[in-house]
């Protein structure tokens, strides 16, 4: 178990600055999710922690010891990590058990120790029965679990997960998400996961680091991130809030000729409004055209038209709100940011 620290880490390919001064601490035994859209530098950051990419400047420490930086570069095989690759990277020429055995072979464990550890690791991911199978005879979810068992079997200080659930269908995703959470609770290993799926990040992590264009936007617990996003980008990316560019005039947000009364007082001027879909309530009377109504089970999603911008609102199934009619809107909570320079 070990903490991971990144200090002003920088990485570029030619003129392309991929990671720009990321500083981050992952506490011992905690789970950090690196969240962001594709191309934001999150995977490069993870690969630098793994040692698969060298950083240009800054330093990385694992468990207090510097593994990368001006003073040292520890190759990946000596960092004591485990990693689950997006493509799983399960070796097709080895059986499931042989795949899982590999890190132990490298550690030089003897056969009986190895067998015990393999059994234990396969049990953790519930693949005991598949030990002698060839990888091409496994499903995607099973391969994923082989990769997980292989990453864990060497008892790594830190487990790195690169988009661990992205290739799976919805049901499998749920299942593995629960499994990873359970494993974590049991093993207490420090974990760092890269994902572009905010639900995945929020569900699993103690801390979520949101990245954008090579820079950390915000690092916080999932709850704090959800409740207190510090930028419209974070708010938009986490929780799927509506992000609207408009103007505040006399305590109301104005966009496309529509006035929405704000629940709290804000000074006049151009601004960006962040409104969560569940923070607005539909009223039977009003001037906003209702474009669509989608039944989602527990809630219903409504799509309103604000000028030429669409607005998503979640609420109970109101009988009055039929597509084609107009409705009103009351904001229960909203966040207003100064207009971002774009």
Residue 78, C-beta contacts closer than 8 angstroms, at least 6 positions apart: none
Segment contacting other proteins by CB under 8 A, of 91-99, 247-255, 291-299, 333-341: 91-99
Measured from the CB atom, the residue of 83 and 202 that comes closer to other proteins is 83
CB of 330 to other proteins, least distance (A): 49
| Whole-number Å distance between alpha carbons of 37 and 87 | 18
Measured from the CB atom, the residue of 86 and 305 that comes closer to other proteins is 86
Q: Which of 21, 25, 66, 85 binds other proteins (CB under 8 A)?
A: 85
3-state secondary structure at position 193? strand
Residue 212, C-beta contacts closer than 8 angstroms, at least 6 positions apart: 36, 37, 40, 233
Element (H, E) at 8: strand 4-13
CB of 175 to other proteins, least distance (A): 19
Measured from the CB atom, the residue of 118 and 260 that comes closer to other proteins is 118
Q: How many residues bind other proteins (CB under 8 A)?
A: 36
Q: Does 137 bind other proteins (CB under 8 A)?
A: yes
| Whole-number Å distance between alpha carbons of 337 and 57 | 33
**Secondary structure letter of residue 73 according to DSSP:** B
Segment contacting other proteins by CB under 8 A, of 138-146, 175-183, 254-262, 268-276: 138-146
Q: Does 136 bind other proteins (CB under 8 A)?
A: yes
Taking alpha carbons only, the member of 76, 53, 78, 55 closest to residue 9 is 55
Query: Which residues, numbered 159-188, are part of the site for other proteins (CB under 8 A)?
Result: 160, 167
Q: Cβ distance 79 to 251 under 8 Å?
A: no
Residues making contact with other proteins (CB under 8 A): 50-52, 75-78, 81-83, 85-93, 102-103, 106-107, 134-138, 140, 143, 147, 150-151, 154, 160, 167
């Amino acid at each position: 178990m070990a903490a991971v620290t990144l200090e002003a880490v920088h990485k570029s390919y030619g003129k392309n600055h991929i990671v720009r001064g990321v500083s981050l601490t992952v506490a011992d035994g905690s789970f950090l999710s690196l969240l962001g859209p594709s191309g934001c530098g999150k995977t490069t950051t993870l690969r630098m922690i793994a040692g698969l990419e060298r950083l240009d400047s800054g330093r990385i420490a694992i468990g207090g010891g510097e593994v990368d930086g001006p003073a040292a570069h520890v190759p990946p095989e000596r960092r004591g990590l485990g990693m689950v690759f997006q493509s799983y990277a399960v070796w097709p020429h080895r059986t499931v058990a042989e795949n899982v055995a590999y890190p132990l072979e490298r550690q030089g464990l003897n056969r009986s120790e190895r067998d015990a550890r393999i059994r234990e690791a396969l049990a953790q991911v519930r693949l005991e029965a598949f030990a002698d199978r060839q990888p091409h005879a496994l499903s995607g979810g099973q391969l994923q679990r082989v990769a997980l068992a292989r990453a864990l079997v060497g008892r790594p200080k830190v487990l790195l997960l690169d988009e661990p659930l992205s290739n799976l269908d919805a049901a499998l995703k749920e299942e593995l998400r629960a499994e990873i959470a359970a494993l974590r609770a049991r093993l207490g290993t420090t974990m760092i996961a890269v994902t572009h799926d905010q639900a995945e990040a929020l569900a699993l992590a103690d801390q979520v680091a949101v990245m954008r264009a090579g820079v950390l936007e915000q690092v916080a617990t999932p709850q704090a991130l959800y409740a207190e996003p510090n930028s419209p980008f974070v708010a938009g990316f986490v929780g799927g809030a509506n992000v609207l560019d408009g103007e505040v005039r006399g305590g109301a947000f104005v966009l496309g000729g529509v006035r929405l009364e704000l629940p709290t007082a804000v000074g006049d001027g151009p601004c960006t409004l962040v409104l969560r879909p569940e923070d607005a309530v539909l009223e039977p009377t009003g001037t906003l055209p209702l474009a669509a109504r989608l039944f989602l089970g527990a809630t219903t999603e409504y799509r309103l038209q604000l000028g030429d911008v669409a607005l998503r609102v979640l609420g109970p199934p109101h009988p009055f709100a039929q597509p084609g009619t107009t409705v009103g809107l009351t904001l229960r909570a909203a966040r207003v940011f100064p207009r971002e320079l774009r």
